[in-house]
Amino acid sequence: MRSSLVCFEPFQRKQPLEKPLCVIIHVWNNMREQYSCLIDFNDVLQVDLWRPNSASLIRENSPVDIHVGWNKTQWLRRHLHQAHIHYKVLISNLQTEIEKQIGYRRSSRTRRSEFQYDYEVYHPLEEIRSWMFEMNRTHPHLVDLFSIGQSYEGRPLYVLQLGKRTRPFKKAVWIDCGVHAREWIGPAFCQWFVKEALNSYQQDSGMRRLMNQLNFYIMPVFNVDGYHYSWKTDRFWRKTRSKIPKYHCRGVDANRNWKVKWCDEGASLHPCDDTYCGPFPESEPEVKAVAKFLRKHRKRVKAYISIHAYAQMLLYPYSYKYATIPNFNCVESAAQNAVSALYSAYGVRYRYGPASTTLYVSSGSSIDWAYKNGIPYAFAFELRDTGYYGFLLPETLINPTCTETMRAVKTIASGLLKKCTK
Ligand SMILES: [Zn+2]
């Protein structure tokens, strides 16, 4: 269950705190007898788990990142020590790290003159929205902007369509970012993708070919309400912001709410959990809107790509079971090529494979849904890093992270133009 940690104050505060309020503790080498201790600690402390997303997903020999209030760190460290569990403090002052991204230090951020948009900072929702309008206005021959519905709090769900209007039935690639609010590198990547696609259209023949032969549907912020909330109130908010009658906890995990093995293993029925599957499948207007759009266009959409963080992995179905998908050879080879392309940029290694065996079993996920609905290539990226900064990936790493991911996504898209004969 998610704790009600208050780790930072809203961002108007002008002076840094003298004492850190929250720390991130990274735990590893947890053997069989130790990981049950970890689950117990979680119960006692009601910590906010960063990785995995729920205590039920803690496994032997897989790392665990715990976000814990300062007042509980002594207790936790003592008990970890007693249980012979190795750990290290990854971020000793979360407040400082948060402020680097959104706090007072950024208030001097240069507002560059009319539309010199800075792709190497994180942007709040309103800025991303204006940026979308601007892309649409300045690239009318390659961009279309439309809304596919409304969020729970009534915000439009914008999608940018990129591609040359050559023929009516082009194959298409769907990319969504920001399904989980706190994963800020996601929306940064979607914006980066659009910038690169538009800026390199003239010079880069590879990109031009993709844009001429494919349409890209880019949804920069899927979970708009949650993203907004992560800027205004709780930096580590993950879920949507919907209300469930009779419960004080809000929000549903938008990656457990899809109509495929809904609320089975790896999803929670409890509204206070971070992996809450919702009261029924597609209960979240954001999920429903995207599902409706993809159903409508499923004959043309050949790849579904969802951008998450963090773990450095490229995952494909199934999430909900340990079984091999029918077109495994084609998907596996696409993943392998994508991961090598990514590696070629800066030597960053990604693991790849079925989500169930590579990450963990989860039901009601968007990649399983997309796959089940006839989209042959369904991928979830877990971008940088592997826990050093976690969700607080510094802005200096936006450029390299997006540059390498761009290579991987372009490789997947190029693969769609060839027939897979494996
Ligand atoms: Zn995520």
66-123 tens-digit pLDDT: 888 878 888 888 888 888 888 888 888 888 888 877 754 454 454 444 458 999 999 9
Radius of gyration for the chain, computed over Cα atoms and rounded to the nearest angstrom: 21
The stretches in the chain having pLDDT less than 50 are: 1-20, 104-105, 107-108, 110-114
Tell me if 356 sits within 8 A of 282, measured CB to CB.
no
Tell me, in angstroms, the distance from the centre of ligand 1 to residue 89's CA. Answer: 23
pLDDT of residue 21: 52
Tell me, in angstroms, the distance from the centre of ligand 1 to residue 82's CA. Answer: 32
pLDDT of residue 253: 98
pLDDT of residue 2: 38
> 343 — phi, psi (to 5°)?
-60, -35
pLDDT of residue 11: 34
Tokens of 105: 């230090």
Tell me, in angstroms, the distance from the centre of ligand 1 to residue 113's CA. Answer: 34
Q: Which value, to the nearest 10 degrees, does the dihedral of the CA atoms of residues 175, 178, 180, 186 take?
A: 90
Tell me, in angstroms, the distance from the centre of ligand 1 to residue 326's CA. Answer: 26
Tell me, in angstroms, the distance from the centre of ligand 1 to residue 350's CA. Answer: 16
Tell me, in angstroms, the distance from the centre of ligand 1 to residue 179's CA. Answer: 6
Tell me, in angstroms, the distance from the centre of ligand 1 to residue 183's CA. Answer: 6
**What letter would DSSP give residue 57?**
G
Tell me, in angstroms, the distance from the centre of ligand 1 to residue 146's CA. Answer: 24
Q: How far apart are CA 284 and CA 113, in angstroms?
A: 38
pLDDT of residue 51: 87
Angle value at C-alpha 137, between 134 and 138, nearest 5 degrees: 85
Q: How far apart are CA 256 and CA 369, in angstroms?
A: 10
- Find the helix or strand (DSSP H, E) in which 379 lies: strand 377-383
Residue with tokens 């968007």: 366
What domains can be seen in the chain, in order of their start residue?
A: 22-104 (3.30.70.340), 125-415 (3.40.630.10)
Catalytic residue numbers? 382
Q: How far apart are CA 202 and CA 141, in angstroms?
A: 13
Tokens of 201: 């259209």
Cα dist from 84 to 28, 79, 81, 87, whole Å:
11, 9, 5, 9
Tell me if 335 sits within 8 A of 353, measured CB to CB.
yes
This prediction has a pTM of: 0.88
Tell me, in angstroms, the distance from the centre of ligand 1 to residue 139's CA. Answer: 30
Residue with tokens 């780790």: 7
Strand order in the sheet with 22-28: 48-51, 64-69, 22-28, 86-91
Q: How far apart are CA 95 and CA 74, in angstroms?
A: 18
Helix (H, G, I), strand (E, B) or coil at 252: coil
Tokens of 39: 């689950």
Of the candidates 46, 268, 275, the residue with the CA atom closest to the CA atom of residue 180: 275
The strand pair at 171-177 and 214-219 is best described as: parallel
pLDDT of residue 4: 33
Tell me, in angstroms, the distance from the centre of ligand 1 to residue 253's CA. Answer: 9
pLDDT of residue 26: 80
pLDDT of residue 103: 54
Tell me, in angstroms, the distance from the centre of ligand 1 to residue 280's CA. Answer: 20
